[in-house]
Each structure stands twice: as structure tokens, then as C-alpha cells.
Amino acid sequence: MYKRILIPTDGSDVAEAAVDHALDLAEKYDAEVHALYVVDIDSVNFSLGTEQVDRLKQGRFDEMGELKEQADEATGVVAESGAERGIDVVEHVSGGRPHKLISDYAENHGIDLIVMGSHGRGGVRRALLGSVTERTLRSTHVPVLVVDYIDED
């Protein structure tokens, strides 16, 4: 049923909530897993200079120091969890608008399922804040499994 599963991650607890679900499905269907970290160009535009943003757009993350470390750590969590289960994970880092790049990555890599975490917000809060998960749902034809993150605090 599923041959390739995509886990978009930013390293947050919300994103990591989806990892176990995705890996369970990958085990069951002997699927390939892809971990994607997207540097949101819009949110880093204010803190980085034009030259650094251009590097991100060109995919030159090795020159980005701390940002590259965050990306490697986020996809590394997925890869390590996969390795514990005997599942190889393809790690990828990209820069741009998260929902657009998630959708494009899914289309370009033959992804059968996207597994994402969500805060599970509703109503006005959701409308005001927007959501990468919601935007992804609207921008792809690939099925999306949304895993609600429940804060244990």
C-alpha cells in the first residue's frame, strides 16, 4: 500500500509525535522513509542577510553553521529511530515555503503518504495562526496522516 513515506520535521515535539506512527507504517508495509527539514525562508528573512537567504534558496546549507546543525539534528532523530527498527531513512534539507516544498518533495519523489504532527488547534486560533500542516493538506494530492500532539505539561 505504501512504498515511500515522508516525515516533514523541524525537530519540534509536534513533528516528532508523527515519527513513531510513520515508522510503524513503514515497518508494516516495508516502505522507504524520507525525513525532510525545510528552512522557512519567510521566517529567517528577518534574521539573516540577503546573501545567506540566497544560499538557502540554492540549497547551500553546509555554509549555514547553526542552521545546518538544527536541520541535521531534526532529520537525524528520524534516521536514528528508523535505524533502531532496521529502517533506512533518506534525509533531505531544503529552503523555502514549508508547505510548498513538502508538496513538491512528495510529488517529485513518488511519496505515497505524508505523516505530520499538529497541535490540534481549532477555531479562531487555527485561522489566525495558520498551519504548515493545514497548508500542506491543501497543496498536495498525496494522502496526509495528521498526528495530534498532546502537550503533557
59 lies in which domain range? Answer: 4-148
Tens digit of pLDDT for each residue in 46-98?
555 555 556 555 555 555 567 778 889 999 999 999 999 999 999 999 888 89
Q: Which of 103-112, 115-124, 143-152 has the highest mean pLDDT?
A: 103-112
Of 104, 69, 66, 106, nearest to 90 by C-alpha is 106
- Calculate mean pLDDT across residues 135-146: 93
Of 106, 119, 145, 147, nearest to 18 by C-alpha is 147
Q: Decide: 141 and 110 in contact? Cβ < 8 Å.
A: no
The answer to whether residue 14 sits within a structural domain is: yes
Q: How confident is the model at residue 129 (pLDDT cuts 50, 70, 90)?
A: very low
Instruction: Identify the CATH number of the domain in which residue 108 sits.
Output: 3.40.50.620
Q: Decide: 102 and 10 in contact? Cβ < 8 Å.
A: no
The CA distances from residue 135 to 93, 129, 153, in Å, are 19, 12, 27
Q: How confident is the model at residue 17 (pLDDT cuts 50, 70, 90)?
A: confident
The answer to whether residue 104 sits within a structural domain is: yes
The answer to whether residue 153 sits within a structural domain is: no
pLDDT at 147 over 60: yes
The answer to whether residue 42 sits within a structural domain is: yes
pTM: predicted TM-score of the whole model, two decimal places: 0.83
How many structural domains compose the chain?
1
pLDDT at 128 over 50: no
